[in-house]
């Protein structure tokens, strides 16, 4: 059992660990060894850290815990997608999904348990906000999904998308710290270009991201280029409206030079008309974009249905020379698809 009075050692960064090690008479390189066990290997027990002395391990055991996320339930889809429900030290849960696609192994991870933003179409939004995940809890998902990829597909993770539960830009510091650890060549070493942060558009955080993580990919969940309709679908649009979002993205693009991915969920007879395609085309003129059209994954109790106009909508955009992809939905049979993550099996 986790002793809740002990501090999770992973809340210490390397300089703080090094300071702490000097107070217990251990050498700085031991702090680095401990750091590697924690972050490179994802180790969950001080006793397994065999290159630390027994004495140091005993002190660590007395004073600290390692609050690793536990894979509480794992389900596999017939399409190869694997969904893991993680349980954290306080019994809060969140989900992560491994999506294999040829040689591409994508981890779709959560940044929060639940979400405060209540988008009309999203199952996670119905949960409300439970809490932010720590950088360690975000990285636990990465380590575990990587281990599953290696075990089942003999391939390590190639991509990470923050498209699980929660709004990553409302848990900004933990997400940036997690990405820094994932991309640090001496730790996990994944290229930042293979990481995508998806947001509904928290404008000041988008601008900060241009400074803090300029090479990470940015995806905007737009879903409508009409401000009133967007207010309805994504209530936080009332706070950060389309106009502010456009300006923030223009500044983001000027600073980073990045093309922006636009996620556009197609909801039947709601945002999939010819007029919607025209508004979207107009809206994307301010910066280079790639558009991902997402067929709606039905959520029980919601009145939305998957658009029957996807091909037409796509060709209207393509006729305007836009780069458009239709996202293939994965893991529907295990409720692992976009917007379906709600911890259905929570006890
Ligand atoms: N909060 C962030 C990231 C998590 S949601 C965001 O909204 O961008 C990841 C993606 O799933 C978003 O584009 C979201 O709009 C989409 N999504 C939500 N519910 C969905 C559903 N039922 N079917 C398909 N996509 C959905
Ligand atoms: Fe939150 Fe994203 Fe779902 Fe909206 S779509 S409720 S922002 S997780």
**What amino acid positions are annotated as catalytic residues?**
95, 338
Model pLDDT, residue 339: 63
CB 216 within 8 A of CB 196: yes
Q: Atom of ligand 2 at shortest distance to CA of 123?
A: 3
**Closest CA relative to residue 128, chosen from 139, 147, 115:** 115
Model pLDDT, residue 345: 46
Pocket test for ligand 2, best of 116, 119, 231, 292 (most atoms within 8 A of CB): 119
Question: From first to last of its 347 residues, what are the pLDDT tens digits of the chain?
Answer: 444 579 999 999 999 999 999 999 999 999 999 999 999 999 999 999 999 999 999 999 999 999 999 999 999 999 999 999 999 999 999 999 999 999 999 999 999 999 999 999 999 999 999 999 999 999 999 999 999 999 999 999 999 999 999 999 999 999 999 999 999 999 999 999 999 999 999 999 999 999 999 999 999 999 999 999 999 999 999 999 999 999 999 999 999 999 999 999 999 999 999 999 999 999 999 999 999 999 999 898 999 999 999 999 999 999 999 999 999 888 888 777 766 666 654 43
The pTM for the full model equals 0.95
Ligand 1 center from residue 320 Cα (angstroms) = 25
Question: For residue 41, what are the CA distances in angstroms to 17, 34, 48, 144, 181?
Answer: 17, 10, 11, 11, 12
Ligand 1 center from residue 221 Cα (angstroms) = 7
Sign of CA dihedral 167, 170, 176, 181: negative
């Amino acid at each position: 059992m986790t002793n809740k009075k002990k501090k999770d050692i992973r809340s210490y960064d390397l300089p703080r660990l090094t300071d702490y090690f000097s107070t217990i008479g251990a050498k700085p390189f031991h702090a680095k060894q401990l750091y590697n066990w924690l972050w490179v290997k994802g180790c969950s027990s001080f006793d397994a850290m065999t290159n630390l002395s027994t004495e140091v391990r005993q002190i660590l055991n007395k004073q600290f815990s390692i609050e690793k996320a536990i894979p509480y339930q794992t389900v596999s889809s017939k399409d190869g997608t694997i969904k893991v429900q993680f349980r954290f030290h306080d019994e809060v849960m969140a989900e992560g999904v491994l999506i294999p696609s040829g040689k591409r192994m994508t981890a779709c991870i959560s940044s929060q348990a639940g979400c405060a933003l209540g988008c009309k179409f999203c199952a996670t939004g119905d949960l409300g906000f439970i809490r932010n995940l720590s950088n360690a809890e975000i990285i636990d998902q990465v380590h575990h999904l990587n281990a599953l990829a290696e075990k089942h597909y003999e391939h390590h993770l190639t991509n990470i998308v923050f498209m699980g539960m929660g709004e990553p830009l409302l848990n900004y510091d933990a997400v940036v710290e997690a990405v820094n650890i994932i991309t640090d060549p001496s730790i996990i070493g994944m290229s930042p270009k293979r990481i995508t942060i998806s947001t509904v558009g928290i404008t000041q955080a988008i601008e900060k991201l241009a400074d803090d993580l300029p090479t990470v990919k940015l995806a905007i969940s737009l879903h409508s280029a009409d401000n009133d309709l967007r207010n309805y679908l994504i209530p936080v649009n009332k706070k950060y409206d389309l106009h502010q979002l456009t300006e923030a993205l223009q500044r983001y693009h000027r600073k980073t030079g990045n093309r922006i991915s636009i996620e556009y969920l197609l909801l039947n007879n709601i945002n999939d008309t010819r007029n919607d395609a025209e508004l979207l085309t107009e809206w994307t003129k301010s910066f280079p974009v790639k558009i991902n059209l997402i067929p709606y994954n039905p959520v029980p109790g919601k009145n939305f249905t998957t658009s029957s106009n996807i091909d037409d909508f796509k060709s209207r955009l393509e006729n305007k020379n836009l780069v458009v992809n239709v996202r293939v939905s994965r893991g529907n049979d295990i409720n692992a698809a976009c917007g379906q993550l709600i911890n259905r099996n929570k006890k």
